[in-house]
Amino acid sequence: MLDVLRLMFDFAILSVLGLLQVAYYPSLKFFPRKELVTWFRNGAENIVWIIVLLAPGQLVISGLQLLEKISFYTVCSFVSIVLMWAYTLQFTIRFYRKIIAGAENAHEMAVKLLVANRLRIVVYTVLFSWTLSRLWHKYPFQTVP
């Protein structure tokens, strides 16, 4: 059951980050600096709240999986999620704050945000794929003869 919940949280986080990476962050370079700062001040927190609601759930489920059974998968998953939290707090949040503060180099910060998000996409894709693979082997797809 925890694997299914984990898969759902992994998919949700990967979906949100993927949409940000493909549609949202690239479009930021077309905003004039003043409008970019205004948009971040007013609209970015809505996106942040989605991640803030999903990320603790993913961490809790990963922790429960680790408590249930210590394995290479559960240890790597838990450590990866904790490291992604640290990475997000260290880089992503810092870029958001600089843009919201109205930094003169807001567009440069937006580009750094795009680049910084790539690592998160890769890590969450690996975690999602790994969880999906585990579920696939645990409950193999059976065809009807």
Full DSSP string of the chain? -HHHHHHHHHHHHHHHHHHIIIIIHHHGGGS-HHHHHHHHHHHHHHHHHHHHHHHHHHHHHHHHHHHH---HHHHHHHHHHHHHHHHIIIIIHHHHHHHHTT-TTHHHHHHHHHHHHHHHHHHHHHHHHHHHHHHHHHS------
Percentage, residues of the chain above pLDDT 70: 96
Identity of the highest mean pLDDT range in 12-26, 92-106, 117-131: 117-131
- Asked whether the whole model's pTM tops 0.85, one would answer no
- The residue ranking higher by pLDDT, 129 or 38, is 129
What is the pLDDT, as a whole number, of residue 143? 60
Percent of the chain having pLDDT more than 90? 39
Q: What is the mean pLDDT of the chain?
A: 86
Hey, where are the domains in the chain?
2-138
Average pLDDT over residues 97-123: 84
Give residue 100's pLDDT. 80
CA atoms within 13 A on the CB side of 61: 17
Name the residue with higher pLDDT: 30 or 79.
79
Nearest to 47 by CA among 23, 22, 27, 20: 20
Task: Report the pLDDT averaged over residues 59-78.
Answer: 95
Instruction: Give Cα separations from 60 to 40, 71, 109, 125 (angstroms).
Output: 29, 17, 31, 19
For position 82, what pLDDT does the model report? 95
**Average pLDDT of the segment spanning 92-101:** 82
Q: What is the pLDDT of residue 89?
A: 85
Do the Cβ atoms of 58 and 6 come closer than 8 Å? Answer: yes
Which pair of tokens denotes residue 97? 């704050």
